[in-house]
């Protein structure tokens, strides 16, 4: 489930360019050379997302996420704080795909 969070927030790279939606959805995630596992997505925007993951992920590592209704997406880990992991999509997702994803999963 997603909820709107249109506040501009500071990140390590400065102000975010796209609004984020809070999420509470279980998704598939895989790092290169490993089997897919489940993880919890806690927010998403057109350029990135945050997950809670027990998988050992290093900053700079490429992962793949599996979301309802779209092909797997690649992303790079940009920060980690305990189990919380922030990732940036390798290529921003289009507004159409973003809205379709939010509509498919639903909003709170």
Q: Which of 10-14, 51-55, 78-82 has the lowest mean pLDDT?
A: 10-14
Q: Which residue in 65, 69, 70, 54 sits closest to 32, CA to CA?
A: 65
Instruction: Quickly count helices (H) and strands (E) in the chain.
Output: 1, 9
pLDDT of 17-57, one tens digit each?
667 888 888 999 999 999 999 999 999 999 999 999 999 99
This prediction's pTM: 0.80
């Amino acid at each position: 489930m997603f909820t709107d969070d249109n506040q501009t927030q500071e990140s390590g790279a400065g102000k975010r360019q796209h609004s984020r939606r809070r999420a509470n959805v279980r998704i598939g995630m895989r790092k290169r050379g490993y089997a897919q596992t489940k993880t919890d997505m806690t927010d998403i925007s057109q350029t990135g997302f945050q997950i809670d993951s027990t998988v050992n992920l290093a900053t700079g590592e490429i992962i793949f996420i599996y979301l309802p209704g779209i092909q797997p997406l690649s992303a790079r880990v940009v920060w980690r704080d305990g189990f919380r992991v922030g990732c940036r999509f390798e290529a921003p997702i289009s507004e159409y795909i973003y809205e379709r994803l939010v509509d498919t999963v639903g909003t709170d």
